[in-house]
Amino acid sequence: MYTCGPTVYRYAHLGNLRTFLLADLVKRVLGLEGYEVVQVTNITDVGHMTDESSAEAVDKMLLAAEDEGLTAPEIAVRYTEAFLRDTSAIGIQPASVYPKATEHIPEMLELVAALVGRGHAYVASGSVYYDVGSFPEYGKLSGNTLGQLRPGHRDLETDPSKRHHADFALWKRAGSGRLMKWDSPWGEGFPGWHIECSAMSMKYLGERFDIHTGGVDLIFPHHEDEIAQSEGAVDDRVVSTWVHGGHLNLSGQKIAKSSGNVVRVDELTERGIDPLSFRYLTFQTRYRSMMDFTWDAMAAADGKVKQLRQRMEGWGHAPHAGGLSDRADELDGRFRKAVGNDLDMPRALSVVNEAASAGIGEGEKLSLLTSWDAVLGLDLERAVRESYEPSPEISALLQERDRARDAKDFAKSDAIRDRLASMGLEVMDTAQGTRVRPRA
């Protein structure tokens, strides 16, 4: 799975993060079904321009560097780290790899050269453009066929040296004042916006991979141009399934840096809201749909998550060990059917709340919600872990392990650790000795 990642020149906001939550949800549901997912999420640290249609456009990375008195690489490091902190705070599992655009210029140049060699691209005034007329299927993802596109459209560059107004840049000639530039067969320049994703997705996932995710705003031109680049280079379909998430609105307006109405993860924390509760909020709307954000709805979602944790704490610490009852099995089947039905999370949440009040054993409830949390990512066991008190049997094993460690009998110490782990416990070595808690 390839996920279009952040442009690291500013902090991510909740609108951005809803899109990344979609990719995380896809990954978690596939995991529930037994699949191992290799996920690539790119870091765009060059290439996004202030206006894709203007020859005078400036790279947003350079503007941020000038604003903050840092170099472009320093800006990239600062906001990459912030992005990873924010995604972790809302329970997004790490990608397998986070390739950076600036570290894959050779792969981009190789791909551009291949497209030129195959007749899909041409050189004009030191820049290289993709010839959309050479790709008959252009527009198949977005429906924006060549006959519908007008010169001067906000997403179309108006360089007079282009053969067709819809042709897009694979490589751009660098002007004298350009700081981030690289040598190429066509002179000094820098990559176009779209080429990085084609180059990096195929480097790490091959010429055919399963899923590509992103926001609905990337369908055109970004993903449409990706298809033309990738398929033009290998003469075959590359992405099997495209998944796009809807916008997040605040007061009826899309949350965006350009609108100035951003809400960040830190603001949730400042208001006493668990950032994981943002997951619950987004699950109340189908991922394809536009979603409205309000602080009242955010507070209600936070209250619901904390209530579920408290109820789980009241059910004890021992999940049901045997087979599920018919009623519990039916609930489990409905949850799995909901998440498998095009990620129907509103229905899945309905099953969660029904299970919490169902007339089944508390151990079964604990087992169901614990297993479903692999998809939900709400850390529903938090209160259970924090209130955990080891049984006399567990306490005796902890003391025995500490004695073994003091005697440097590490074979015995490791054996006891493995036994505790097999009982579903996380084993921690502290200055006060061995401590355990239920594994998250």
Identify the DSSP state of 261.
Answer: -
The H or E element that residue 32 is part of is helix 14-32
Q: What's the pLDDT at 278?
A: 98
Q: What is the CATH number of domain 2-248?
A: 3.40.50.620
Phi and psi at residue 77, to the nearest 5°? -65, -45
Q: Do 21 and 75 contact (CB within 8 A), yes or no?
A: no
Closest CA to 127 of 169, 182, 178, 185: 169
Q: What is the pLDDT of residue 191?
A: 94
Residue whose tokens read 């010839």? 131
Question: Is the separation of the CB atoms in 364 and 325 below 8 Å?
Answer: yes
Cβ atoms of 118 and 236 within 8 Å: the answer is no
> What's the CA gap between 280 and 301, in Å, rounded?
6
Look at residue 337 in the predicted model and tell me its pLDDT.
98
Residue 60's Cα: distance from chain center in Å? 22
- Report the pLDDT value the prediction gives residue 66, as an integer from 0 to 100: 73
The CA distance from 193 to 196, in Å, is 7
Looking at residue 154, what is its pLDDT? 44
Q: 27 is written with which tokens?
A: 């990954």
pTM for the structure as a whole: 0.86
Q: How far apart are CA 161 and CA 172, in angstroms?
A: 12
Q: How far is CA 183 from CA 115, 171, 187, 189, 314, in A?
A: 18, 11, 6, 7, 64
Report the distance separating Cα 60 and Cα 47, nearest Å.
8
At how many degrees (to 10) do helices 326-340 and 345-357 cross?
160
Residue 44 per-residue DSSP state: B
Which SS3 state, helix, strand or coil, does residue 182 take?
Answer: strand
* The pLDDT value given to residue 428: 81
| Residue 436 β-bridge partners | 427
pLDDT of residue 243: 98
Q: Peptide bond before 73: cis, by omega within 30 degrees of 0?
A: no
Encode 196-223: b = buried (16+ Cβ within 10 Å), e = exposed: bbbbbbbbbbeeebebbbbbbbbbbbbb
> Which of 26, 33, 27 is CA-nearest to residue 371?
33
pLDDT in tens, the chain (440 residues): 999 999 898 899 999 999 999 999 999 999 999 999 999 999 998 855 555 445 456 666 677 777 788 888 888 899 999 999 999 999 999 999 999 999 999 999 999 999 999 999 999 999 999 999 999 999 999 998 887 775 545 445 567 889 998 999 999 998 776 778 899 999 999 999 899 999 999 999 999 999 999 999 999 999 999 999 999 999 999 999 999 999 999 877 777 766 667 899 999 999 999 999 999 999 999 999 999 999 999 999 999 999 999 999 988 766 676 788 999 999 999 999 999 999 999 999 999 999 999 999 998 999 999 999 999 999 999 998 888 778 889 899 999 999 999 999 999 999 999 999 988 788 888 877 898 877 76
Which residue spans within 218-277 are E strands per DSSP?
239-245, 248-250, 253-254
CA distances from 337 to 33, 242, 279 (A): 11, 21, 20
Helix (H) or strand (E) holding 255: none
Collapse the DSSP code of 373 into the 3-class scheme (helix H, G, I; strand E, B; otherwise coil) and give the result: helix
pLDDT of residue 156: 53
Q: How many CB atoms lie within 10 A of CB 167?
A: 21
So what's the pLDDT on residue 152?
46
Gap between the Cα atoms of 64 and 234, Å rounded: 36
Q: Where are the domains of the chain?
A: 2-248, 271-386, 392-438
